[in-house]
Amino acid sequence: MSSPLWQVRLLVVLTAVLGVNYVIWRWFFSVNWPAWWIAVPLVVAETYSVIDSLLFGMTMWRAKRRPAPPDAPPDATVDVFITTYNEPLDLVQRTALAAAEIRHPHRTWILDDGNRPELAAWAEQHGIGCLHRTADWVDRPRHAKAGNINNALMATDGEFILILDADQVPTPEILDRVLGYFDDPRMALVQTPQYFVNVDDADVLGSQAPLFYGPIQQGKDGWNAAFFCGSNAVVRREALMQLGVSRYADELERSVRTALRTARRIVGRARSGVEESDASLRTLLDSIDYDARRALNALDRGEAVADVTFRFGQRLRDAEREVARSDARLLADDLAAIAALEDGLSTDGVDAVDVEVLAATLERDWSAAGALSSVRRLVDAVDVSRLDEAQPVMPLATISVTEDMATAMRLHGMGWRTAYHHEVLAHGLAPEDMASMLTQRLRWAQGTVQVMFRENPLVQRGLSWPQRLMYFATMWSYLSGFAAIVYIGAPVVYLILGVLPVQALSSDFFIRLVPFLVVNQLLFFVVGRGVRTWRGQQYSLALFPVWIKAFTSAFGNVFRGRALDFAVTPKVVTPTEGRPRWDLIKPQLVAMGLLVAALVIGGVRLGVGQAQLLGTALNVVWVVFDLVILSIIIRAARYRGSSSVEERTPA
Amino acid sequence: MTEIHVAHTERGIGVVTPVGRLTMVVTRQLTEAITDLVDGGTSKVVVDLGETTFLDSSGLGALIAGLKRCRQAGGDLRLARPTEQVTTVLSLTNLDRVLRPRASVEEAF
């Protein structure tokens, strides 16, 4: 059975004391400053790891094993959503049939973003609902899965929503087991584990996440920060809708202000291009500027946004009519410009059309009539109706490709609670080949880093400090890619060049480092309660190129508006003629090559008396450890998938 | 049971009056009532909340969707006669920053 909390806490305290002691000693007493180019990266990486273990310790401090919840209220109304885009029909159908068999009264819906007529026909035959995007979504940002669910929320009316990925086959008792948590009126969401049936004991691709769907989620739950993971979760509609409505209200005022300020700039520029003689046009532009300024003042005074934009919109329309009357010839010139503008409005992709971006597109040097039209478009786009979005209210967050984390964080910020229910109630399919696995991990990491950049949890008002740190801990863990490079590079540098990043390999060094490493591993072992955490540890290092790419691509996306190369995780193998995809793991292969070369060169250097025995031995152990960790990626590349999916999956 | 009454004022303004609880169960009815009005050429609509005993966030969502419909048709949607509970919900979600309810249906336009 589980270890008592006092044992865990004792280990947490020991790890923290030893880790902090070590890292302080490293910074102040042992950095080999002359070799700063390797010494500083190493001490930074070590500091990173110690902070990581402190955050892990905090997560474990209040690990919560919830007692069974109260019985499900029999009259609770539930919609079951099965989200799909391009998964094979039989996969979706199997999940849908199982969902229909869930015992608690409910309605089952397939949310088919792929608009497949044959799936709709099949669903109708089986009395299962099938929902597609409404016409409002045409030419507007689709927001992937979050958009799909937001669309379905508007077409259904159950008090609770069970969200399932297309491959997650639910058990009949899933709702009976979790609805009871919602007796707490502030409970917004209950997450259950994601468990995969097509994974054997070796779990070469590291698909099961027993540490996450266990101690880590229970730990976050202890601080009321259990994560929403996108599938196998029940959500309270009221919480989602309240979130959507309040986001709408907050974002609207901000975008309207930006739009009005931009409008003034556009008009001002257009006015400077109008000739003296054209007095009527100048008067007109002046009056628009005056109206925009008045609208901004009205917002400052606290007038309702809808009233302000309504008034401003009417004034604009009057002005446009006047321009059309007085100066029809200019209009033709601007048609092309307006058409270009429409393109800007219909930007598709996972990212919200940012009013700032839109404003930048609009700020071109146009003639007066063009200026008027672009002001009109700009104000329309952020008018109370949010014409730039398919629906004004977006309950599920759309700021990230992993909508789940951002949504839960916002719910927590509004004072809602979440729970983690530690019992497998759905059986899913993990990626069956390394290429899909890499795509999936990249997407998760990108999504997490996007949230960190867009809504950094450390500065979110409404979150308690432990909640902020629980979200931050997950984001922090994705920085491990940079540390991995240092951990691979440092022993290579020593063995090849003889440069030591620490001042001396004294007993001081070992006395401080070894106990920390031992206690840290012991903590993992104790909280892991016998589940295998080694695979996870391997991948956190071995996927270093993925984590780094996630970081750089999310940075480019958030701060420079670049695309993320978003991809849906394939659920089924597409056989690539059985050849391992070595091309996908080049950085790891290069790293392993360097490590092996370092072993050889280090041996030669020792043999010819150019290197010390202790230093060489220590770094050889380090290199071998790195190689053992990285070796998993070779096994992953050669992995051919688990053959017996059909037999293993419960019908 | 919640009922949604629809009427016109002599000035051609549509008046929608939800009687009872305006929750997720009746949001579609409300949306349809507003859409029917707009499609029939009435784009200025007042939602009279004087008979609404309870309003949830889905109800708010439907009001926002209605606002969008009306604005797209060149009109507007306004709220009138909020009960205390309605006022509370509006301020809880900050929606009162966007929509300011009027004291009576007559004052709305």
The angle at the Cα of A407, spanning A403 to A409, to the nearest 5 degrees, equals 125
DSSP A225: -
Per-residue pLDDT at A368: 60
Q: What do you get for the CA distance between the two ends of chain A, in Å?
A: 31
Instruction: Give a yes or no: residue B37 inside a domain.
Output: yes
| Residues on chain A touching B28 (C-beta within 8 angstroms) | 157
| Residues on chain A touching B94 (C-beta within 8 angstroms) | 246, 249-250
Tell me the per-residue pLDDT of A475-486, one tens digit each, with 9 for 90 and over: 999 999 999 999
Per-residue pLDDT at A566: 53
Confidence band of A356 (pLDDT split at 50, 70, 90)? low
Q: What is the arithmetic mean of pLDDT over B37-61?
A: 94
Optimal mutation site among A140, A241, A243, A314, interface B, most CBs of chain B within 10 A = A241
Q: Which residues pair with B6 in a beta bridge?
A: B16
A343 has pLDDT over 50: no
Per-residue pLDDT at A346: 38
Tell me the per-residue pLDDT of A15-30, one tens digit each, with 9 for 90 and over: 999 999 999 999 999 9
Name the CATH superfamily for A78-237+396-435+449-458: Spore Coat Polysaccharide Biosynthesis Protein SpsA; Chain A (3.90.550.10)
Tell me the per-residue pLDDT of A441-469, one tens digit each, with 9 for 90 and over: 999 999 999 999 999 999 999 999 999 99
Q: Does B65 touch chain A (CB under 8 A)?
A: yes
Tell me the per-residue pLDDT of A382-428, one tens digit each, with 9 for 90 and over: 676 666 788 888 998 887 778 899 999 999 999 999 999 999 999 99
Q: Which residue of A has its CA nearest to B65?
A: A392
Encode burial over A610-641: b for 16+ CB neighbours within 10 A, e otherwise.
ebeeebbebbbebbeebeebbebbbebbebeb
Optimal mutation site among A385, A388, A414, interface B, most CBs of chain B within 10 A = A385
Q: What is the arithmetic mean of pLDDT over B39-54?
A: 94
Q: What is the arithmetic mean of pLDDT over A104-132?
A: 96
- Cβ-defined contact of B98 to A385 (cutoff 8 Å): no
| Residues on chain A touching B93 (C-beta within 8 angstroms) | 242, 245-246, 249
| Residues on chain B touching A461 (C-beta within 8 angstroms) | none
Q: What is the arithmetic mean of pLDDT over A294-308?
A: 94
- Cβ-defined contact of B98 to A303 (cutoff 8 Å): no
Tell me the per-residue pLDDT of A70-95, one tens digit each, with 9 for 90 and over: 999 999 999 999 999 999 999 999 99
Per-residue pLDDT at A649: 42
Per-residue pLDDT at A330: 53
Helices (H), A89-168: 89-100, 117-125, 144-153
Optimal mutation site among B22, B24, B54, interface A, most CBs of chain A within 10 A = B24
Cβ neighbours of residue A313 under 8 Å, at least 6 residues apart? A379, A380, A383
The alpha-carbon gap from A396 to the nearest alpha carbon of chain B, in Å, equals 13
Q: Which residue of A has its CA nearest to B44?
A: A310
User: For A459, how many CA atoms within 13 A lie in the half-sphere containing its CB?
Assistant: 6
Instruction: Give a yes or no: residue B32 inside a domain.
Output: yes
Per-residue pLDDT at A648: 42
Q: Which residues pair with A424 in a beta bridge?
A: none
Instruction: Give a yes or no: residue B109 inside a domain.
Output: no
Range of the domain at B22: 3-104
The alpha-carbon gap from B89 to the nearest alpha carbon of chain A, in Å, equals 9
| Residues on chain B touching A387 (C-beta within 8 angstroms) | 72
Q: What is the arithmetic mean of pLDDT over A308-336?
A: 69
Distance CA A203, CA A201 (A): 5
Give phi and psi for A166, each to the nearest 5.
Answer: -60, -25
Mean pLDDT, chain A, rounded, equals: 87
User: What CATH code is carried by the domain that includes residue B72?
Assistant: 3.30.750.24
A497 has pLDDT over 70: yes
Which secondary structure element, helix H or strand E, spans residue A342, and what is its range?
Answer: helix A328-345
Tell me the per-residue pLDDT of B70-104, one tens digit each, with 9 for 90 and over: 988 889 999 999 999 999 999 999 999 999 999 99
A544 has pLDDT over 60: yes
| Residues on chain B touching A154 (C-beta within 8 angstroms) | 61, 65
Q: Does B107 touch chain A (CB under 8 A)?
A: no
Per-residue pLDDT at A198: 92
Which secondary structure element, helix H or strand E, spans residue A248, and what is its range?
Answer: helix A237-272
Distance CA A18, CA A297 (A): 58
Q: For chain B, positions 6-35, list CB contacts with chain A under 8 A.
A: 24-25, 27-28
| Residues on chain A touching B97 (C-beta within 8 angstroms) | 249, 253, 302, 304-305
Q: Does B73 touch chain A (CB under 8 A)?
A: no
Please give the tally of structural domains in chain B.
1
Per-residue pLDDT at A511: 92
Name the token pair of B105.
Answer: 């249906």
Closest Cβ–Cβ partner in A238, A246, A384 for B71: A384
A342 has pLDDT over 60: no
Closest Cβ–Cβ partner in A158, A253, A393 for B64: A393
Contact A201, A125 (CB under 8 A): no
Name the token pair of A603.
Answer: 């041996």
The alpha-carbon gap from A417 to the nearest alpha carbon of chain B, in Å, equals 17
Contact A190, A181 (CB under 8 A): yes
Q: For chain B, positions 74-103, list CB contacts with chain A under 8 A.
A: 76, 92-100
- pTM value is 0.88
Instruction: Give a yes or no: residue B52 inside a domain.
Output: yes
